[in-house]
Amino acid sequence: MATSIFLDLSGDRPAENTADSEDFRLVEALRGGDEQAYEELLTRFQQPVYALALRLLDDPAGASDVVQEVFLKVFRSIARFRGQSTLKTWIYRITVNEAHNARRWFFRHRRREVDLDSKPDDTRDWKENIPDESRTPFDQAFGSEQRLMVEAALEKINPIFREAVVLRDISDLSYEEIAEILGVSLGTVKSRILRGREALREKLAGSLEPRPALRLVPQNGRVML
């Protein structure tokens, strides 16, 4: 049996996982109390951190709480950032840890809570409001449906595998970055991604066929799928 050798051959990601000069500049500005740096940090990271928290928790209110907690921790412990990882990896690691804590807390306390703020009109999930940039109504319908299915399947798989798949395929991080964020070995990352994808493939069996093309047949003017 051949041994798998892990190499980063993609070329589209930097091989090094340490902070670059841009990270250090931002961190120094934060330590120096530069107001613009606080704004810049939010601009750079609030969207990806929220997206990651939401994928890990699937609870918009919980994700919002996690994101606030993450940035509070980032601002307060920025003095302890040594640059041994990139700023992004460091912040993502905090996000994953906070999401773990929130999930544990959720299962202990909030499962039985009823959201009194929800109105009948608000019952639609945020996923149903995702802006879609597909070009045609057909594309839009097909894309939205497929995304909804993927999102639904993601919720159903083991959270441990889910976070690895989310970090790899949605947050687009390298195996090394994921290993650092999750605090596990590269082999474990590979295994979790593999098992997560397999679980998703099983959940989505039959719905991941190649996208049908919309063809116009000029002879009889019928639309064929």
Interface pick for another protein out of 132, 136, 183, 212 (rule CB under 8 A): 132
Nearest distance from residue 143's CB to another protein, in Å?
A: 7
- For position 68 contacting another protein by CB under 8 A, the verdict is yes
Restricted to residues 140-169, the positions that interact with another protein (CB under 8 A) are 143, 146-147, 150-151, 165, 168-169
Alpha-carbon dihedral sign for residues 204, 205, 208, 213: negative
Size of the site for another protein (CB under 8 A): 62
Restricted to residues 6-25, the positions that interact with another protein (CB under 8 A) are 6-10
Note the residues at the interface with another protein (CB under 8 A): 1-2, 4-10, 30-33, 35, 38-39, 41-42, 46-48, 50-51, 54, 60, 64, 67-68, 71-72, 75-76, 126-127, 129-133, 143, 146-147, 150-151, 165, 168-170, 172, 175, 190, 193-194, 197-198, 200-201, 204-205, 208-210
